[in-house]
């Protein structure tokens, strides 16, 4: 009986229309994700969306979009619909270039269901919004219609407005995939595409700056990452005298002007503080400990003069001690991609409100969802899967490096592979924590390219002119 049922289901799947497969696949994802998970960042952005006061601490463009969806469907559901539907459509359109519509629909569903992808797309994060617009925007760049390709550029600009590292991702996508006219030769096509990428990047920055409320600009780099990098560089730099460091760090919010490098090299193992940092920045040894050390070396700047001094000191220290800076960033990178870790923390977030303070968060947002029985089981499974090898970004990075050679004659696949690698390259210098979600585009690009390569090899060589890299 079971075998007969399985056979009937297989026959139904083989004859199902692509649209039906996509709808059923999306409903399966919603069974796990509904009505959308929210962390601390999500709660803050929803409150900003409702107040209309957008700060630079989170992308104002996302807050503005959330204000629109929240006016129609209160809470996270509207944003969940936007990011899940855009992503599924983009994945389908990308895969459709390499396989039949039915298989593309099935594979796009599998990508959406793939735990390292669905774990992020189920949460209302700027990362989730970014990858949704990246997938659909990249797919639309391949359209034969110029108007559709321009819409693709607009979506990539929206993705860039969501996260700072998106500009690195969009560079290979736009330059390699966008063509104003198919008749343009390479010497005209690529400069135009590069100009379009600059326009995409500038438009995103302009929109965020215009939406940010007066006096609410938050200098995230000066207030956090730059101080973190200064402390890490001091830790690995050769021995430096206090007199020299006082000159280099003049004007910065130093907590003490004596034993500066000693303080930067010290460890502060207060367990309660370490646990607090781990909850905020992610588990690990080097990163949370160094953040604690940074708090013992610098205070948060309060005036523009201090921020200017931080920028000067960062440039001076990094240029004077590049090896120390790179060693510091390597430790952050290795911990973020879980290279060499025996065990890793779960990369899945499975709570409907800010887990750091769920009751207060629920009260402020007027949103206190509870999981169904099926959803509870799926959440437990996701939490367990989040600590397996599936959530180790270094595996996808290694595959991507191999794929560079395999995809060198296919412009679409090569652009996707390079965009994932570019994301990690940007995060090497920009990541302030070791959150798994930072690498989700690398995972997506690697999985999509893997499926496309399998389909291409199975179908035999059938490259078309527009897919071959070159003039």
| Same structural domain, 179 and 327 | no
| Same structural domain, 246 and 325 | yes
DSSP string, 363-375: HHHT------HHH
| Same structural domain, 294 and 203 | no
Query: Does a structural domain hold residue 7?
Result: no
Closest CA to 80 of 127, 48, 122, 27: 122
> Within a 13 Å sphere around the CA of 167, how many CA atoms are in the beta-carbon half?
14
Last residue in a domain, options 286, 321, 336: 336
Give the residue numbers spanning the domain of 310. 220-336
| Same structural domain, 226 and 210 | no
CA-based radius of gyration for the chain: 23
User: Token match 């390709």: residue?
Assistant: 149
Residues shown for the chain: 471
Last residue in a domain, options 269, 303, 336: 336
The two three-digit tokens of residue 197, written as one number = 């990428």
> Within a 13 Å sphere around the CA of 284, how many CA atoms are in the beta-carbon half?
27
Query: How far apart, in whole angstroms, are the C-alpha atoms of residue 106 and residue 112?
Result: 10
Query: Does a structural domain hold residue 171?
Result: yes
Query: Does a structural domain hold residue 413?
Result: yes
| Same structural domain, 256 and 330 | yes
The two three-digit tokens of residue 94, written as one number = 């990308």
| Same structural domain, 307 and 429 | no
Closest CA to 301 of 290, 282, 289, 314: 314
Query: Does a structural domain hold residue 163?
Result: yes
Phi–psi pair at 57, nearest 5 degrees = -70, -25
pLDDT score at 10? 52
pLDDT score at 274? 52
| Same structural domain, 184 and 274 | no
pLDDT score at 469? 41
In the chain the first and final C-alpha atoms are separated, in Å, by 58
Query: Does a structural domain hold residue 354?
Result: no
Query: Does a structural domain hold residue 348?
Result: no
| Same structural domain, 191 and 318 | no
Query: Does a structural domain hold residue 400?
Result: yes
> Could you tell me which residues are beta bridge partners of residue 123?
37
Q: What is the DSSP letter of 467?
A: G
The two three-digit tokens of residue 218, written as one number = 């938050």
Name the CA dihedral angle for 300, 302, 305, 308, rounded to a multiple of 10 degrees. 40
The pTM of this model reads: 0.92
> Could you tell me which residues are beta bridge partners of residue 37?
123
Q: How many separate domains does the chain show?
A: 2
Last residue in a domain, options 336, 371, 395: 336
| Same structural domain, 231 and 302 | yes
| Same structural domain, 308 and 410 | no
| Same structural domain, 304 and 431 | no
Query: Does a structural domain hold residue 295?
Result: yes
Q: What is the DSSP letter of 183?
A: T
DSSP string, 198-254: HHHHHHHHHHHHHHSPTT----HIIIIIHHHHHHHHHHHSPP--HHHHHHHTTTS-B
| Same structural domain, 255 and 401 | no
- One digit per residue, the tens of pLDDT, for the chain of length 471 reads 445 554 554 565 566 899 999 999 999 999 999 999 999 999 999 999 999 988 878 899 999 999 999 999 999 999 999 999 999 999 999 999 999 999 999 999 999 999 999 999 999 999 999 999 999 999 999 999 999 999 999 999 999 999 989 999 999 999 999 999 999 999 999 999 999 999 999 999 999 999 987 656 667 889 999 999 999 999 999 999 999 999 999 999 999 999 999 999 987 765 555 555 454 444 457 888 899 899 999 999 999 999 999 999 999 999 999 999 999 999 999 999 999 888 888 999 999 999 888 888 888 898 888 999 999 999 999 999 999 999 999 999 999 999 999 999 999 999 999 999 999 999 999 998 889 999 999 999 999 999 999 999 887 655 443 443 443
Q: What is the DSSP letter of 299?
A: P
């Amino acid at each position: 009986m079971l075998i007969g049922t399985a056979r009937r289901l297989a026959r139904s799947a083989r004859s199902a229309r692509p649209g039906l497969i996509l709808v059923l696949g999306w409903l399966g994802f919603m069974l796990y994700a509904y009505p959308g998970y929210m962390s601390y960042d999500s709660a803050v952005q929803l409150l900003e969306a409702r107040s209309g006061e957008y700060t630079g601490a989170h992308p104002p463009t996302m807050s503005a979009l959330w204000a629109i969806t929240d006016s129609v469907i209160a809470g996270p559901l509207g944003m969940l619909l936007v990011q899940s539907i855009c992503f599924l459509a983009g994945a389908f359109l990308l895969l459709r270039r390499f396989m039949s519509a039915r298989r593309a629909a099935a594979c796009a569903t599998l990508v959406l269901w793939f735990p390292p992808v669905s774990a992020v797309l189920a949460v209302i994060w700027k990362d989730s919004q970014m990858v949704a617009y990246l997938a659909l925007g990249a797919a639309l760049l391949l359209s034969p219609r110029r108007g559709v390709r321009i819409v693709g550029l607009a979506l990539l600009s929206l993705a860039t407005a969501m996260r700072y590292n998106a500009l690195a991702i969009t560079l290979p996508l736009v330059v390699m995939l966008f063509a104003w006219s198919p008749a343009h030769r390479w010497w005209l096509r690529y400069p135009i595409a590069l100009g379009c990428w600059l326009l995409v990047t500038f438009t995103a920055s302009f929109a965020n700056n215009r939406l940010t409320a007066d006096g609410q600009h938050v200098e995230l780099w000066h207030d956090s990452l730059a101080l973190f990098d200064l402390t890490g560089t001091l830790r690995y730099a050769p021995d430096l005298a206090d007199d020299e460091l006082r000159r280099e760090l003049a004007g910065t919010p130093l907590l003490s002007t004596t034993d500066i490098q000693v303080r930067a090299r010290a460890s502060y193992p207060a367990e309660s503080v370490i646990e607090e940092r781990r909850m905020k920045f992610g588990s690990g040894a080097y990163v949370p400990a160094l953040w604690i050390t940074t708090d013992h070396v610098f205070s948060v700047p309060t005036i523009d003069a201090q921020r200017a001094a931080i920028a000067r000191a960062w440039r001076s220290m990094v240029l004077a001690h590049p090896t120390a800076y790179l060693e510091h960033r390597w430790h952050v990178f290795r911990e973020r991609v879980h290279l060499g870790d025996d065990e890793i923390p779960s990369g899945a977030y499975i709570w409907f409100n800010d887990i750091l303070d769920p009751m207060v968060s629920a009260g402020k947002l007027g949103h206190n969802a509870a999981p169904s029985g099926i959803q509870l089981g799926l959440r437990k499974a996701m939490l367990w899967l989040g600590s397996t090898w599936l959530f180790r970004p270094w595996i996808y990075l290694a595959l991507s490096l191999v794929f560079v050679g395999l995809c060198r004659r296919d412009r679409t696949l090569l652009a996707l592979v390079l965009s994932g690698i570019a994301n990690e390259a940007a995060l090497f210098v920009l990541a302030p924590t070791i959150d798994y979600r930072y690498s989700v585009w690398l995972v997506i690009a690697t999985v999509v390219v893997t499926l496309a390569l399998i389909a291409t090899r199975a179908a035999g060589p059938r490259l078309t002119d527009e897919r071959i890299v070159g003039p």
